[in-house]
């Protein structure tokens, strides 16, 4: 497949000697794709995405450059002897830039299709999480929300043990009840406060 792409690119690029110009323009963007691939999946992924981008863009950009060349622009520049000379160059057309960008966006999808997505690190996600692990994780999340304050919870539930109104204060909380000795102590303390 890559051999056919190289032949097609060579066919378009031999006429007019533009292979270096196209390779330079495409190579810069392919280097950026390689850098992003390295950051996402490591050096092997970076090389694969860079090569895929280059192999995809080179023939497409060459064809776009041949089909819709940019307009020639003349600029006045100073040479090494401080003489003003005219320099003619041809910036890429909007069609060429669009083809280059579009091919760079689609080339990672092509590389992923060829490699089967094996270039990215595979993450193992547990499928069976116990209730104790879930409660622990929820406790950590609640602790983060409450600026680090640790809350005591009833066994196997999300009910807080501290700060809840109890039956002694005549504010019922279904399902939670203090031990009888704790209720007697609180009743005694309440009677001292009311006296």
How far apart, in Å, are the Cα atoms of 157 and each of 82, 136, 152, 161?
Answer: 83, 11, 10, 10
pLDDT of residue 167: 42
Domain ranges of the chain: 2-115, 129-160, 164-195
124 versus 72: the higher-pLDDT residue is 72
- 160-126-38 Cα angle (round to 5): 115
pLDDT digits (tens, 9 = 90+) for 87-139: 877 777 888 888 888 888 888 888 888 888 777 766 666 667 777 777 778 77
Question: Whole-model pTM?
Answer: 0.49
Buried b (16+ CB within 10 A) or exposed e, 156-179: eeeeeeeeeeeebeeeeeeeeeee
pLDDT digits (tens, 9 = 90+) for 162-172: 554 444 455 55
Asked if the model's pLDDT at residue 18 lies above 80, the reply is no
pLDDT of residue 156: 63
């Amino acid at each position: 497949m890559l051999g056919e792409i190289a032949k097609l690119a060579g066919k378009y690029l031999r006429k007019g000697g533009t292979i270096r110009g196209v390779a330079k323009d495409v190579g810069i963007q392919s280097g950026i794709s390689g850098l992003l691939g390295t950051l996402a999946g490591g050096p092997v992924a970076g090389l694969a995405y860079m090569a895929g981008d280059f192999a995809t863009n080179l023939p497409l950009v060459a064809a776009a450059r041949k089909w819709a060349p940019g307009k020639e622009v003349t600029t006045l520049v100073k040479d090494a002897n401080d003489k003003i000379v005219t320099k003619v160059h041809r910036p890429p057309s909007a069609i060429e830039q669009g083809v280059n960008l579009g091919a760079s966006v689609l080339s990672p999808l092509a590389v992923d299709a060829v490699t089967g997505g094996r270039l990215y690190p595979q993450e193992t996600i547990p499928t069976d999480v116990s209730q104790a692990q879930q409660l622990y994780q929820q406790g950590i999340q609640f602790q983060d929300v409450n600026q680090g304050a640790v809350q005591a919870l009833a066994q196997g539930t999300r009910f807080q043990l501290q700060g809840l109104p109890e039956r002694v204060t005549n504010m019922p909380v279904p399902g939670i009840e203090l031990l009888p000795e704790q209720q007697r102590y609180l009743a005694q303390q309440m009677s001292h406060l009311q006296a």
